[in-house]
Structures are given as C-alpha cells and as structure tokens.
Amino acid sequence: LVQLVESGGGSVQAGGSLRLSCGHPTYTANSVCMGWFRQAPGKEREGVAAIGTDANIRYADSVKGRFTISHDTAESTLYLQMNSLKPEDTAIYYCAAVAYRLPSGSLLDRRFYNAWGQGTQVTVSS
C-alpha cells in the first residue's frame, strides 16, 4: 500500500460538483480501510469520508448528505462524489489507506492511516 494516486480535483463555483478518484494497488478484499481526508490552508488535516474493512462507512458531519464515498474493487479505485460544494470545502484532498481493521469511531482519524496519496486541489468559489 505505497502508491495511491488521486485525480479529479479542480475549480468549481458554489453548488457545483466534482468527483475525486484514487487508484491503488490490488489487495485482498476486506483487508484495507480507505478514506478521504482534506487540509485547508492553516488547518489540520481532517477526515471527510472513509470505508472500513466491514464495508462500514463514515462521513464527517460537515459533508453528510452532500458527499458520497464508494469503492470499485474490480477497478482498484476509490471515489468521492462531491455535490453542493461550498467555499469551505476548498482544500487539498488526500486519499489514504491502512491495512488493518479500524473501528467505526476511528475511521476518520488520520493518525491510523499509513499510506497517503500526493493530494489533489479542490477550489470552490462563491
């Protein structure tokens, strides 16, 4: 789990949509937690959405109802569909993974993840 490659970032107006993709190495099904994190200027990196080894999903409260995480294991790609984007969603978005089970309460905790992509910029203008 050393190569995660994000794509799909860009600039949109408030209310618009973007879909982020994260390509990753093939791994045994249900053996890896994967998630999306973001970091705005001057702020700490925060969890946005994640899928656990039990296929359990967690979202940050700030994105519930607007963002959807999904995973195409056949294509080895993690997605983040972002709708109704707001200026406060502006950040660098990172894909991350860890090869062990995390309880749901820890899925959005960046300290547990040990593989990271290079990040992709998302800019939302008002």
Contact between residue 15 and residue 65 where contact means Cβ atoms under 8 Å apart: no
Going by pLDDT thresholds of 50, 70 and 90, the confidence category of residue 28 is confident
26 pLDDT tier (thresholds 50, 70, 90): confident
Q: What is the average per-residue pLDDT within 75-91?
A: 97
The helix/strand/coil state of 29 is: coil
CA distance linking residue 20 with residue 31, whole number of Å: 22
Residues 3-31: what's their mean pLDDT? 92
Structure tokens at 46: 């925060």
Mean pLDDT of the chain, nearest integer: 95
pLDDT band per the 50, 70, 90 thresholds, residue 2: low
Rounded to whole angstroms, the Cα distance separating 13 from 53 reads 35
Q: What is the pLDDT of residue 41?
A: 93
Please state, in angstroms and rounded to a whole number, the distance separating the CA atoms of residues 17 and 14: 9
Please provide the DSSP assignment of 70-117 as one string: EEETTTTEEEEEE-S--GGG-EEEEEEEESS---GGGTT-GGG--EE-
